Chain A
Amino acid sequence: MPILEVQSLSKSYRQAGGETTAAIGNISCRVEPGEFVSFVGPSGCGKTTLLMTIAGLLAPSAGRVMVNGREVSGPPADLVLLFQEYNKSLFAWRTVLGNVRFGLEARGDHSQNAAGKARSLIDLVGLSGFENHFPWELSGGMQQRVAIARALAYEPKVLLMDEPFGSLDALTRLELEDALLGLWTKLKTTIVFITHDIEEAIYLSDRIWVLSRRPSEIVEDIPIDFSRPRNQLSTRAEARFMEMRNKIYRQISNPAAK
């Protein structure tokens, strides 16, 4: 059974001036457990709105979202959304360890070995030694890792990530892409990823959905079958990689194509 199912979802909202904006036109898709899927699309096409709606933070205007067979009417317990503005979502008053422990606490784990679990997660994201630092003491990339560790501490079945690496420099981005894949392989969480970076999407995912402009719909459903584990050098060097990239790029930049 698909772990996440979006059925004919559409979402519009009222602007301050009173006009209605249709962000999502009509989206239907299915995600199997353990898959890594990505949405790509032109900027402003409503990707964030889509994730917020799937995460239960916004209500659909029509259609519905099913997580684990249950309809979403509020933030589902098995799902966590990682926000684009990760620095604003981290808790400034808690250390790295405290932030990651929060994920466990939210799960209901206030046990003694919670600290131990938190530490191993911090190690997993590569931040060993920074447990007692505060978020403001860390770089952007490190803050993002804390946010990821915190989300993983919650042990969600589905992890939604809203352009998590968008504001990082290119090298950090590559590093985190691999770190994420490592975590995903190990923990077997389902990941729904949004990015404007087509190559990143191809590199990471099992499947890509290309979105149209607003009101967005899925214009293309592309399975990615490069072998895993992926490699920054060899995978990206394959001829098909560039073909796929060009195809998607054309798809996005040509609004007429549907």
Chain B
Amino acid sequence: MNGRYNFNWPGWASFVFLLLLWELGARVAPGYRLYLPPISSVIGALGQLIISGAVGRHLLATLERFLAGYLIAAAIGVTLGILLGYFQPLHNLLGILIELLRPMPSVAIIPVAILTLGIGDSMIVAVTVYAGVWSILINTIDGVRHIESTLVDTGRTFGLSRSRILWQIILPGASPYIVTGLRIALSIALILVTTAEMIAGGKGMGFYILDEERSMNSANMYAGIVIVAALGYTLNRLFLALEGRAMKWRHGMMAREMA
């Protein structure tokens, strides 16, 4: 966003201008204060929330559920994806089932989850896992299946065993696809966690934002949204940073082994 050489003055200017417009509008038309409180009060609420830590436990709850759901989804999705991508008979067996379940939006699983697991942490983590697994699974299968046969043949011509081919050629080769799946799952997981929190209640940023709306505390509501957006942004950046390092390692390993 901010280029190294080129700070985006016009971009920030129009953003600030928009905020000023908001502020002015809210002050000029106090009747709309409910819907669109002045940005100053939102910033104030934001500051207060951060300082008092009132929103802390909600943020923590959301973060915990997100991490648990995402990591479990990643583990299941990648493993299953590799198995299904690599073993054609397994893929044949489960292929149709997958194609049938795929079109159903993963949020529809929430009522079933509530039925079986109640409205606590386990439900929220479960639905997050369910939703996250799909994108990771599909992309991993894709990645494993689309490995160039030339690459695999290279491994074979070097006399590599099947498992070595899997670890050293197929996995690194599929990693771009897997990473794509993991990246998409990041936003999906956050969506599911916040949604489940809105429906289940109790704690969590999803619940908090909805609750503040119900109590007509719109400034707090907006502040909560800003916090969640910041969370999403941070998670994204973290992911990009980790991905940069992880992929380099894999490529380094490949280069070293082949030398």
Q: Do chains A and B touch in the complex (CB under 8 A)?
A: no
Chain B interfacial positions (CB closer than 8 Å to A): none
